[in-house]
């Protein structure tokens, strides 16, 4: 019944050492969930749906937060979903690639794929709100520590966010060295402050009992249900544990969570609950900052701001990584991707995504103005993605791991009950701001599915019009003049004759001595080894079919791959090689395969996609582009 352990996930640990990876995980993976104490407890009591500051509600909320962390984070993500890795990589798209590779041709496969794509689309909504709410929530401590500077909260937040996005181009590898130690210090501080508060009111420790959460619901089901919309803020960032698994490995993340992050967070939440018992409404202005004595509040603001910046950095890096995966898996057009580290392949920068994110984050800050207002928009994207992850987990349990229904059904029922309740509670926030991540999610979903559908239609039309390669070789090899050198014709389909080759023969009436029909394929797994990279077929008469395979976490580099081919005549010399690319122009078909607006959107994305020359790292002075028209 145990899922198979991946051979790939532990590789990082052997190379870099368990302790270093565990520290790195604290710095990157737990930034989002680690900054939740800034606003989660306050919003549960003082947010849109206020709660009385009495024993029932304080103990009930603390108990609900603890058991939410245990069920959603510890049991669901840390114990179970993190075992469903795709050769060591995690995240919705990695899981989707794993599932779609195993359950092809089943009736519900397309539905599962759409769910996975929608979870990815919701992530972009989350990645816009997280930097805004984290930085605002931290800077708002100025109003508590130094009320005279309260008016600077908004300008300071905007300046910090602009700076954060501006430094992305230079890479974050050097800054990243400080992430782990800073976050460890942050968690030690908030845990210690919570412990001091608990020592003054030790009765708060009874909140570990689930009976208080149940009593909270029994006393007022509607109030408890509405409160879940704010309580869920305590577990936002749980999906990051899974998404960042490839960078740190499963076990370092588990160790960091269970032995360090979870205890620190619960000490702080319990400390805030104990403070409310003692100080009541006075402490509700900012229970996080009021845990600290007056002389430590300003340093705590600086520390919390650093933690918020780190949390934001993790989400921004995650957006780059998810975008790269979406491009490789065919859900997004090619975009310019820059590598910011020579030694770390995962550190990338995507200019378009960076500036779009920055624009949206600053607009959110200026529109909502306070972290309290922003929390109304926060949560829907996260709970939606968590619910979808549970759906995908169901497929994994039954189809990939073959669990018995006796074990799988009760577990899934628990997860669906908790995730569904949190998602439903957050849907009540739609009128007051929850529409923002939903709107972003639906727009991104439309873009991703339109590109995937458009590419599918375009490739099927090209296949319909293509000539069998054997017929072409026999007829063209002897009739056309041959010229020295190598011609590489890039084609997305490994069958038939590329349109660029037909056009070249039609207009130039020559063939090169060596003709390569080259296809780059992205596999449903994150990494392909060098030994499995290239497949070569000799078609005769100087024609060769080469297929180069990459994982969805790898960058295609065609010249580097060709340099490793030694069974295709003479070795490849770039100065004697010409690369022929086809650039398609879309024409409306008599029976369109998509709605008109989607067709126009696809055509616009096709025109503005990064050129294949740059994406595949082809030498700029050796590329010839030939146009062709395609009806979709």
Whether residue 442 sits in one domain with residue 478: no
Whether residue 478 sits in one domain with residue 605: yes
Domain boundary among 425, 453, 481: 453
Whether residue 366 sits in one domain with residue 328: yes
What pLDDT shows up at residue 378? Answer: 83
Distances (CA, A) of 427 to 262, 377, 435, 465: 27, 10, 9, 48
Q: Are 501 and 583 in contact (CB under 8 A)?
A: no
Q: Quick one: tokens of 582?
A: 């086809």
Whether residue 621 sits in one domain with residue 511: yes
Residue 614, domain extent: 467-631
What pLDDT shows up at residue 287? Answer: 92
Is position 402 within any domain? yes
What pLDDT shows up at residue 271? Answer: 95
- With 0-12 / 13-18 / 19 or more C-beta atoms within 10 angstroms meaning exposed / middle / buried, residue 57 is buried
Q: Which residues pair with 515 in a beta bridge?
A: 487, 543
Neighbours of 356 (CB within 10 A): 14
Whether residue 418 sits in one domain with residue 504: no
Domain boundary among 453, 481, 506: 453
Is position 2 within any domain? no
What pLDDT shows up at residue 161? Answer: 92
Q: Are 254 and 78 in contact (CB under 8 A)?
A: yes
Whether residue 209 sits in one domain with residue 127: yes
DSSP conformation letters of 267-323: HHHHHHHHHHHHHGGGGGG-HHHHTS-HHHHHHHHHHHHHHHHHHHHHHHHHHHHHH
Number of domains the chain contains: 2
Q: Could you state, in chain order, the average pLDDT of each consecutive group of 10 residues for the chain (632 residues)?
A: 39 58 83 89 86 91 94 93 82 81 67 86 88 90 81 90 86 64 93 96 94 93 90 87 80 91 95 92 88 91 91 84 85 84 66 93 91 85 89 88 91 94 91 88 92 87 77 78 90 82 84 92 87 89 91 88 88 90 75 82 88 88 80 68
Neighbours of 567 (CB within 10 A): 8
- Least Cα distance to 139 among 307, 362, 2 occurs for 307
Is position 32 within any domain? yes
Whether residue 449 sits in one domain with residue 471: no
Neighbours of 434 (CB within 10 A): 21
Is position 461 within any domain? no
Whether residue 492 sits in one domain with residue 427: no
Q: Are 361 and 440 in contact (CB under 8 A)?
A: no
Ramachandran angles phi, psi of 113, nearest 5°: -60, -45
What pLDDT shows up at residue 539? Answer: 87
Q: Are 495 and 528 in contact (CB under 8 A)?
A: no
Is position 5 within any domain? no
Is position 613 within any domain? yes
Domain boundary among 453, 484, 517: 453
d(CA 71, CA 418): 8
């Amino acid at each position: 019944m145990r899922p198979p352990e991946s051979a790939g996930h532990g590789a990082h640990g052997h190379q870099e050492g368990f302790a270093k990876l565990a520290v790195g995980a604290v710095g990157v993976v737990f930034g989002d969930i680690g900054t939740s104490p800034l606003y989660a407890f306050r919003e549960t009591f003082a947010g849109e749906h206020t709660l009385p500051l009495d024993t029932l509600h304080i103990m009930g909320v603390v108990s609900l937060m603890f058991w939410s962390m245990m069920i959603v984070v510890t049991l669901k993500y840390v114990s179970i979903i993190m075992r469903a890795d795709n050769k060591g990589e995690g995240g919705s798209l990695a899981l989707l690639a794993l599932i779609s590779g195993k359950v092809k041709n089943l009736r519900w496969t397309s539905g599962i794929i759409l769910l996975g794509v929608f979870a990815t689309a919701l992530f972009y909504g989350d990645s816009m709100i997280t930097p805004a709410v984290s930085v605002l929530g931290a800077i708002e401590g100025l109003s508590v520590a130094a009320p005279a500077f309260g008016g600077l909260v908004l300008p300071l937040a905007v300046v910090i966010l602009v700076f954060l996005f501006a430094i992305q181009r230079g890479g974050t590898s050097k800054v990243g060295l400080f992430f782990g130690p800073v976050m460890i210090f942050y968690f030690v501080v908030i845990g210690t402050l919570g412990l001091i508060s608990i020592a003054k009111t030790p009765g708060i420790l009874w909140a570990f009992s689930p009976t208080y959460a149940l009593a909270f619901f029994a006393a007022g089901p509607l109030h408890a249900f509405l409160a879940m919309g704010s309580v869920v803020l305590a577990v936002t960032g749980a999906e990051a544990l899974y998404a960042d698994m490839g960078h740190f490995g499963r076990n370092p993340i588990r160790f960091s969570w269970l032995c360090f992050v979870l205890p620190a967070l619960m000490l702080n939440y319990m400390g805030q609950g104990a403070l409310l018992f003692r100080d009541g409404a006075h402490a509700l202005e900012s229970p996080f900052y009021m845990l600290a004595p007056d002389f430590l509040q300003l340093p705590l603001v600086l520390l919390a701001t650093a933690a918020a910046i780190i949390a934001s950095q993790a989400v921004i890096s995650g957006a780059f990584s998810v975008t790269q995966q979406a491009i490789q898996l065919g859900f997004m057009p090619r975009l310019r991707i820059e590598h910011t580290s020579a030694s770390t392949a995962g550190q990338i920068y995507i200019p378009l995504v960076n500036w779009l994110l920055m624009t949206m984050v600053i607009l959110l800050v200026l529109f909502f103005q306070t972290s309290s207002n922003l929390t109304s928009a926060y949560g829907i994207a996260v709970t939606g993605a968590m619910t979808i992850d549970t759906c995908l987990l169901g497929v994994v349990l039954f189809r990939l791991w073959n669990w018995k229904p006796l074990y799988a059904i009760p577990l899934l029922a628990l997860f669906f009950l908790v995730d569904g309740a949190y998602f439903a509670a957050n849907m009540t926030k739609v009128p007051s701001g929850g529409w923002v991540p939903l709107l972003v999610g639906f727009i991104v979903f439309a873009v991703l599915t339109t590109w995937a559908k458009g590419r599918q239609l375009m490739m099927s039309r090209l296949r319909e019009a293509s000539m069998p390669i054997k017929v072409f070789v026999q007829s063209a090899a002897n009739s056309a003049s041959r010229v020295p050198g190598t011609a590489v014709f890039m084609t997305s389909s490994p069958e038939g004759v590329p349109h660029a080759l037909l056009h070249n023969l039609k207009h130039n009436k020559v063939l090169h001595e060596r003709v390569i029909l080259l296809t780059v394929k992205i596999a449903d797994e994150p990494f392909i080894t060098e030994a499995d990279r290239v497949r070569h077929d000799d078609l005769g008469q100087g024609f060769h079919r080469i297929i180069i395979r990459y994982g969805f976490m790898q960058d295609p580099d065609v010249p580097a791959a060709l340099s490793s081919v030694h069974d295709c005549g003479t070795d490849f010399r770039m100065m004697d090689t010409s690369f022929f690319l086809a650039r398609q122009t879309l024409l409306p078909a008599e029976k369109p395969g998509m709605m008109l607006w989607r067709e126009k959107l696809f055509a616009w994305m096709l025109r503005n996609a990064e050129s294949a020359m740059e994406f595949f790292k082809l030498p700029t002075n050796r590329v010839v582009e030939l146009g062709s028209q395609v009806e979709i």
